[in-house]
Amino acid sequence: MKLPEIVPKFHDSNGPLAAKLLQSPSSFGLGTLPIASHPDSTTVSVCGYCSTGCGLRIHLKDGQAIGLTPANDYPVNIGMACAKGWEALAVLKSDERAATPLLRDDQGILHEIDWAVAGETFCNRFKELQSKYGPGSVAFISTGQIPTEEMAFLGCLAKFGMGMLHGDGNTRQCMATSVVAYKQSFGFDAPPFTYSDLEESDCLVFIGANPCIGHPILWQRVLANKNNAELIVVDPRRTETAMAASDHLAIAPKSDLVLLYGIAKELIEMGAVDNRFIANSTEGYEEFRDFVSRFPMNKVSIATGVSIEKLQRVVQKIANAKRASFWWTMGVNQSHQGVRTAQAIINLALMTGSIGRPGTGANSITGQCNAMGSRLYSNTTSMIGHYDFLRDEDRQKIATILEIPVSSIPNQNSYAYDQIISGIDSGEIRGLWIVATNTAHSWINSPRAKALLSKLDFLVVQDMYRTTDTAMLADLVLPAAGWGEKEGTFINSERRFGPLKKVAKAPGVALADFAIFRFLADVWGCGEMFVKWTHPEAVFQIMKRITEGQPCDITGIRDYKMLDECGGIQWPWTASDQKLQGIPQRERRLFEDGRFFHTNGKAKFLFEEPKSIPEGICDTYPYLLLTGRGTVSQWHTETRTSKSPVLRTLYPKLPYVEIHPNDAEDLGIMAGDQVHVRSRRGTATVKAVITASLRRGNVFMPMHDAQTNRLTLEHVDPMSRQPAYKDCAVQILR
Ligand code: SF4
């Protein structure tokens, strides 16, 4: 591989580390180009946006990507891709890319520096803080956007090598609720489904999910369902998915828990339960049955605002189903009682025996391309491999596999994201390393988040763009390669490991995150600890050993080549599976034997009294603000999607708020008027869109514009600590 021209200058002036980088790029995980066996060939790489994990066929000339088409033989997308996938290469070519390290001077100006200065500054500043305020004074924020091997490296380097005690990831913002719900109910964070369940179900219930926009290729799989399936959508808004539903329950925001308990009560009274499954595979049913008896339909109707007749029609359809499946995303996860809501969905699947069979399941659709990788390997909330930092035997197992002293593994849990933010406020956290996420834009109540990031003694942002709201606040910017410029694996919503390929060169001296971690490990002085972490596939082999005996065991996956040959492989795939079966089936689901991961093999019914949202409407703030995805062509904070001219033409140019026509009339607001949306935290100035897709009294803003989180209320689910973005009180001013 030919390195970027700037590196020889770095080599001349910066000693042995730079020399090593120049002489042996692969030792820093840079990999080699071309990736394809023939330089003018094609290779399949998994998309780097959402958790659907579509396979994209990358077309190469001289080893470099010149275009892509959806892979028609990849089991996830079968020849389809959404606009983001089609434009995945375009966003790499932007003049906003971070191409060289940047350091802020005393006047607040960012200057280009070389990697040696960047590495020394990173280590010196963080070490100074740790020696003055303790190792826990420096923390890190990881991401669901980088390959599994990189997030494993980041988590292990930060915690085991650099002695940081606290690290979390942006997956806290999307998946923490599902993780906790599954863990408590099933005994492990285990989404049970496979995508063919979307096609094989005869009754699909989507709760707080809009796959038509959020997971468009999964929506295509729904449309491929040949069972004339019932499609029930539970959502306060008449979303694109709700418009296609056979039944749309437009419930009052956050009345979902009452609704789900009420449905359970009705199903029990109708006798539409699987008593054999309940007896053999679950525990806590009697208590649950007694509990939900307090949710009669008239009470549910009042709480949800949906008529009893409509509620009963939906219950009857679930009762009639042979293969009912229940799907949820952020409308559930980002709630003040999200874990219990997710578990109320799980309870419905358990009581009807709708799990472990084709077309069934309690199925949480993941958000980011590698949120599942983060859940298992990021070494943040749980220890790498989904072990427990508090258990001596778990720490010893990881220390043995990694060949590191057990004393280097913290015997305490990390702070969650919100606790790290609050730790900055209290002065406990003084330095922060943010990798591939945009906290200043995406964190709830962003005015506070921004103010606190600015308060840090030292903020490092590692990103592929230098212009994110967060990078603009950084003291040190480390330029990173993006999707398509490095190797590794992503794990999608259905637990499928898929390969990420290097098909393009990163700009300037930007490095793969993997290479940055290797480099920083050496500069920090803990490189010896990671001597075997030479390149992503070497880390993949370490990850395999770590999973041995875990529910997510992947010891049967030989190597990256096998992932290519099989169209990705779902976990688990054990060495004995491989020995007995040879080739993994293309689609596999969990719990076919009715055995769960708790020691007694049973799943648990878990429930709790519903609670009111913390910030209800009042005379001063009479509207409830809902947030969510805007269009298929926008991704989160638009760090990448805004760089594609094609995608930009596919979504509204100006930020907007959706208002019900009657509310607009009361307020004297016309379509297109500029309005101020004000909460107790801040104000957004946006365009009014008048639409009857909302209930009266609700307004909606997409999450993509930075103004939206100026308004949101900082509150979290108490168990998952996932922020509840979906509800806060606002006023609308002309
Ligand atoms: Fe990529 Fe998701 Fe679109 Fe598939 S659906 S192409 S994974 S963004």
What pLDDT, in 10s, does the model give residues 470-507?
999 999 999 999 999 999 999 999 999 999 999 999 99
Average pLDDT over residues 82-89: 97
Quick check: 403 pLDDT over 60?
yes
Residue 55 to residue 553: CA distance in whole angstroms: 23
Residues with CB under 6 A from ligand 1: 47, 49-50, 52-54, 77, 81-82, 84-85, 216-217
By the 8 A CB rule, do 734 and 668 touch? yes
What pLDDT, in 10s, does the model give residues 537-595?
999 999 999 999 999 999 999 999 999 999 999 999 999 999 999 999 999 999 999 99
Quick check: bond before 70 cis, omega within 30? no
Question: What are the CA-CA distances from residue 122 to residues 110, 126, 156, 439, 690 (Å)?
Answer: 15, 6, 17, 20, 49
Tell the residue nearest (CA) to atom 4 of ligand 1.
54
Tell me which amino acid residue 10 is.
Answer: F
- Distance from Cα 635 to the centre of ligand 1, integer Å: 10
Residue-level pLDDT at 20: 53
Band of pLDDT at residue 51, cut at 50, 70 and 90: very high
- Distance from Cα 691 to the centre of ligand 1, integer Å: 28
Residue-level pLDDT at 7: 35
What pLDDT, in 10s, does the model give residues 698-717?
999 999 999 999 999 999 99
Residue-level pLDDT at 24: 45
Residue-level pLDDT at 22: 42
Residues 6+ apart with CB under 8 A from 6: 100, 114, 508, 509
What mean pLDDT is reported for the chain? 94
- Distance from Cα 632 to the centre of ligand 1, integer Å: 9
Residue-level pLDDT at 731: 98
- End-to-end Cα distance, the chain: 58
Residue 320 to residue 622: CA distance in whole angstroms: 41
Point out the ligand 1 atom lying closest to the alpha carbon of residue 52.
7
CB 617: neighbour CB atoms within 10 A?
Answer: 18
- Distance from Cα 74 to the centre of ligand 1, integer Å: 13
Residues 6+ apart with CB under 8 A from 585: none
Quick check: 18 pLDDT over 60?
no
Dihedral class, residue 591 (left if φ above 0, else alpha if ψ from -120 to 50, else beta): left
What pLDDT, in 10s, does the model give residues 265-299?
999 999 999 999 999 999 999 999 999 999 999 99
Distance of CA 405 to the CA centre of its chain: 31
Average pLDDT over residues 423-432: 98
- Distance from Cα 696 to the centre of ligand 1, integer Å: 33
The token pair that represents 86 in the structure block: 């089609």
Point out the ligand 1 atom lying closest to the alpha carbon of residue 492.
7
User: Of the residues 50, 77, 86, which should be mutated to test ligand 1's pocket, given the most ligand atoms within 8 Å of the CB?
Assistant: 50
Quick check: 9 pLDDT over 70?
no
Q: What share of the chain is helix, strand, coil (3-state, %, to 5)?
A: 40, 20, 45
What pLDDT, in 10s, does the model give residues 304-320?
999 999 999 999 999 99
Tell the residue nearest (CA) to atom 3 of ligand 1.
82
pTM of the model as a whole: 0.95
